[in-house]
Structure 1
Amino acid sequence: MRILVTGGAGFIGSEYVRMLLGAPGGSAQGVPPVEPPGVTVLDALTYSGNPANLDPVRDDPRFRFVRGDIRDAEVVDEVVPGHDVIVHFAAESHVDRSIAGAAPFVTTNVLGTQTLLDAALRHGTGRFVHVSTDEVYGSIAEGSWTEDWPLAPNSPYSASKAGSDLLALAYHRTHGLNVVVTRCSNNYGPYQFPEKVIPLFVTNLLDGRTVPLYGDGGNVRDWLHVHDHCRGIALVQQKGRAGEIYHIGGGTEMTNKELTGMLLDACGADWGRVVVVPDRKGHDRRYSLDISKINEELGYAPSIPLEAGLADTVRWYRDNRSWWEPLTGAQSA
């Protein structure tokens, strides 16, 4: 099986590649085997795409890397042929950046996805796995979203992802392309670019700096270890029904203030290191995914408890300063 992974040098995409190729710490039970040359990564290496994320598989004969932008139809048309599966991670994904400037989110997330879908259709790709987010639903005060819930995105980022979801599903309904869509809750784990809340807080705390807490800290998120997320994607890749959406969640909801307390404890810091900052524009209050469908159909359940996963994540950032210091401008003490 030949698998094309777009955005495979990013946080989640690189975890998927390491998992597929059985890199140390990356394997997962039930992941399909790949044969040489089994996995191609297509990545533009923007600020959050890091070649170092793929170092554990760099010398694997099944691995190939292509630097290119999913918006570039010529590059995409050269790379797609011969692949049985496309797993599409490539996206602009930081909400704050989308508020500051939406154009890259629309062109990458919507037009880039359309470019890939056209190439998949033209070259007869067997399966197209479109990786999305729970943020397309907006905010939910109580209960949990099911896969048929109406979309109501509140940020330019989530609106662009909703648009790409609808495009992917339309290519299934219109053209019969074998598309499946996954929507996940908030991810955390090793190799996450330090603009996101957990690596931002951890790296700041490890360097003795303060951390910013939005508003009253009452926004609720469900936290999902990146490895559990990729296990879920692998199940959908193998056994998901064409044209369907599958939720992948971690089953651990907490407020941002509660998460901050856990990170302070894990880093040996106290609340004196927390600075309350004005709330984000359009900040969704609560996310919650119902994961009954993927559990009942495909047997998925999260396996990494949040406390253990956070401890491992803090340990990884503590032990891998050489990875994150160049990204933050931090210097070792």
Structure 2
Amino acid sequence: MNWRAKKVLVTGAGGFIGSHLSEELANRGASVRALVHYNSLNRWGHLESLPKETLRRIRVVAGDVTDPACVREAVHGCDIVFHLAALIAIPYSYAAPSSYAQTNVLGTLNVLDACRLAKAAKLVHTSTSEVYGTARYTPIDEEHPLQGQSPYSASKIGADQLALSFHRSFGLPVAVIRPFNAFGPRQSARAVLPTILSQLLSGYEELSLGSLSPVRDFSYVSDTVAGFLAVAASPKSVGEVINIGSGRGITVGEAAQAAMRVVGRKARIRKETARLRPPRSEVLRLIASNAKARRLLGWKPSVRFEDGLRLTARHIAGHLDDYKAGLYNV
């Protein structure tokens, strides 16, 4: 796709994946409108860490996806909409489930309706591998049952189904991208790899972690962004759900050992009770089948886990002040 001819909107542009996607789209010449969550300090999240010459090519607008008028204004005039805005922290979803329903379900409904009214050429809606729950079989393909094991995952199941219903009911050209555990520079310590790396790089002799046994499919953020672009570009993705993942399973404990090798120092691991999910809510195993992405999009992962971990460690080492390594970041 020639992105120079495209006007695009990225919701959730101030977040981890959203900022990388906005950056890549701007570098490819797209006219990027970046919707960030309104705040009185006019902070733009991770967009503020972009090179100034890149940020100058992005039009940042502040708003809230739970407000229909705000969303309609943001969508107006855009060819392609990437919807990433969401509440994503699983532990916080136990404390504030209503907020997750409002942002993730109602917010998605507002984006869908705005795209329908504006006759957008394509909407790429962001799902999550958490909707699968603990794998009943691996690798997990797109036909795997959906299991809401947390308020977060339940809200995303609802949002995904709304997106697909707008395609079936109104002919809206929607594609659902389902990333597995993306990681890389700018990711917060809410996620497990920055949690491990920030403690190691801060010199901690003992790491405070949750369960070490869950298996995750870690995908470096540049591969995830490439997946978003491929989904947007392909007419074959309309009406489809497409996994984006490496196809390799790594336990949290194995990830911690790999991080120690990358950083070059050992540390003890302490299981902290506060970091454990309720037993029936913990997702024990997530490993993606990326066969559909390979077949429909020609997408495949290109960054090895160990290489991505080195790049992530390098970034965190240069931004340690941004991480509260001694706290449990929910």
**TM-score (normalizing by structure 1):** 0.89
Do residues 17 (structure 1) and 17 (structure 2) align? Answer: no
Q: Describe the shift of the 1:58–1:124 C-alpha distance in structure 2 as closer, same or farther (beyond 3 A).
A: farther
Alignment of 1:19-34 (within 5 A): 19-22=24-27, 33-34=28-29
Do residues 53 (structure 1) and 47 (structure 2) align? Answer: yes
- Structure 1 counterpart of 2:241: 245
- Structure 2 counterpart of 1:267: 263
Do residues 73 (structure 1) and 68 (structure 2) align? Answer: yes
**SS of match in other structure, 2:14:** coil
Inter-partner Cα distance in structure 2 for 1:111 and 1:248: 25
- Structure 2 counterpart of 1:306: 305
Inter-partner Cα distance in structure 2 for 1:261 and 1:241: 37
Decide which of 215, 226, 240 is 1:220's aligned counterpart. 215
Inter-partner Cα distance in structure 1 for 2:142 and 2:46: 35
Q: Describe the shift of the 1:59–1:236 C-alpha distance in structure 2 as closer, same or farther (beyond 3 A).
A: same
Count of matched residue pairs: 313
Inter-partner Cα distance in structure 1 for 2:249 and 2:326: 32
Decide which of 156, 163, 181 is 1:168's aligned counterpart. 163
Asked whether the 8 Å contact 1:45–1:67 carries over to 2, the reply is yes
Do residues 157 (structure 1) and 152 (structure 2) align? Answer: yes
Q: Describe the shift of the 1:114–1:166 C-alpha distance in structure 2 as closer, same or farther (beyond 3 A).
A: same
Asked whether the 8 Å contact 1:81–1:123 carries over to 2, the reply is yes
Instruction: Compute the displacement of 1:310 (Å).
Output: 0.3
Instruction: Compute the displacement of 1:228 (Å).
Output: 0.3
Structure 1: runs of 5 or more not aligned:
23-32
Counterpart of 1:317, as a letter, is: I
Inter-partner Cα distance in structure 2 for 1:263 and 1:186: 16
- Structure 2 counterpart of 1:6: 11
Alignment of 1:1-333 (within 5 A): 1-22=6-27, 33-35=28-30, 38-44=31-37, 50-56=44-50, 58-60=52-54, 62-209=57-204, 210-215=206-211, 217-239=212-234, 240-272=236-268, 274-278=269-273, 279-281=276-278, 282-321=281-320, 324-325=322-323
Q: Describe the shift of the 1:211–1:50 C-alpha distance in structure 2 as closer, same or farther (beyond 3 A).
A: farther
Structure 2: runs of 5 or more not aligned:
1-5
Q: Deviations over 1:146-187 (max 9, x none)?
A: 212221120111110110000000000000000000111111
Q: Deviations over 1:74-132 (max 9, x none)?
A: 21121211000100010100111112221111110000000111111111111000011
**TM-score (normalizing by structure 2):** 0.89
